[in-house]
Amino acid sequence: MKHAIKYAVSHMLYAVGLLQLWQFVVLRRRAVILMYHRVLTPEQMCRSGSHPAIMVDCETFAEQMAVVKRRFKVLSIEEFADRMERKSPFESSSCLITFDDGWQDNFTNALPVLRRYELPALVFLPVNFIGRNRLFWQEALVHLLVLAVRTVRREPAREVRIREALDPIGLAEVLDLNDSDPRSRIIETISRNRAGLTPSLVDTALANLRSEFGVENGDVEGTDSFMNWEQIAEMSRHGIAFGGHGSEHRLLSEMPIEEAREDIRMSKEVFDVRCKGMFPTFSYPRGYWTPQVAESVRAAGFRLAFLAKGGSVSCEDDPFTIRRVNICQAATESMPMFLARVVGLF
């Protein structure tokens, strides 16, 4: 119902020109920063273990970039940083395009669109995942749980052992799912139970499931893999910049500050080697930060840091808590909905 109301309101406002007028008002001398994660085909979406809140369809992304090219002043990170550091007001409706995590699809699916429209962008990298056969724990857990459900259906005798591996993290209920493809329900269940999924419990469950099935992560088609350094170098040759996103993509505000500082320091160390000459920026994993974490990012040598919290940006804002607008398929599937989200209506 909420989605239907947003769809109707945004289309009505767009049709009479009020959304366009609202953009002119709220983005006067301000910038908006778009936060993308994944750009996937419909087939890839069906195979992915990622939450829908970080996905955009390839065709939708292309349509959005066409609108951004036409309606916004798209900045490189150097242009954006110059305005922030000089406290010089942005041109109205300025825009910075960012991506978190360095997914493989940023190279295969997003880059061709960015090149088509000659748009710069900034990609934040969790450096210990780049060029390695690793998944984030969420995606790994989804793939292994899908495998668990299908295994129990095929081999009921293994259910007791698999259920024992899942009981400590409170996810044994997924074994009772009767959907032909349980993936989306598994993702919902993990999201609903996230508060109880502590790193130590998840690590133990993943290790047990990997041992049970004799697989590394269950992502047999590599849908949820990350870029390698050669692909990153190729993107940089086409106007794409890179920044830090931690080493292990851990939630920095939920770690002891000494561990957070070390994670940030390692991220900067790799950035200095692999992204030599680029303006040093940082994105807090999942937007989790504290003043202590922000100070650690500054002390490590990063000069701007970005949140995962919506809103437009003034040149006077704190350079280590810069807001971004998350873009996902469900919330921005049409151009009026996309524009409504960008200007802060929804």
- Shared domain for 166 and 310, answered yes or no, is no
With a pLDDT cut of 70, the percent of the chain lying above it is 100
Q: What is the pLDDT of residue 148?
A: 97
- Shared domain for 153 and 121, answered yes or no, is no
pLDDT tens for each residue of 181-235: 999 999 999 999 998 899 999 999 999 999 999 998 999 889 999 999 999 999 9
- Shared domain for 160 and 202, answered yes or no, is yes
Residue 9 has pLDDT above 90, yes or no: no
Residue 58 has pLDDT above 80, yes or no: yes
- Shared domain for 118 and 36, answered yes or no, is yes
Q: What is the mean pLDDT of residues 249-260?
A: 97
Residue 20 lies in a domain: no
- Averaged pLDDT of the chain: 96
Residue 1 lies in a domain: no
- Shared domain for 49 and 193, answered yes or no, is no
Q: Binning pLDDT at 50, 70 and 90, where does residue 5 land?
A: confident
Residue 97 lies in a domain: yes
Q: What is the pLDDT of residue 60?
A: 98
Question: Is the whole model's pTM more than 0.85, yes or no?
Answer: yes
pLDDT tens for each residue of 284-313: 999 999 999 999 999 999 999 999 999 999
Residue 240 lies in a domain: yes
Last residue of a domain, one of 146, 179, 213: 213
Q: What is the pLDDT of residue 8?
A: 92
- Shared domain for 282 and 296, answered yes or no, is yes
Q: What is the pLDDT of residue 4?
A: 86
Q: What is the mean pLDDT of residues 172-181?
A: 94
Structural domain harbouring 250: 32-133+231-328
Q: What is the pLDDT of residue 3?
A: 83
Q: What is the pLDDT of residue 215?
A: 94
Residue 264's Cβ-count burial label (10 Å; 0-12, 13-18, 19+) is buried
Q: How many folded domains does the chain comprise?
A: 2
- Shared domain for 156 and 267, answered yes or no, is no
Q: What is the pLDDT of residue 98?
A: 98
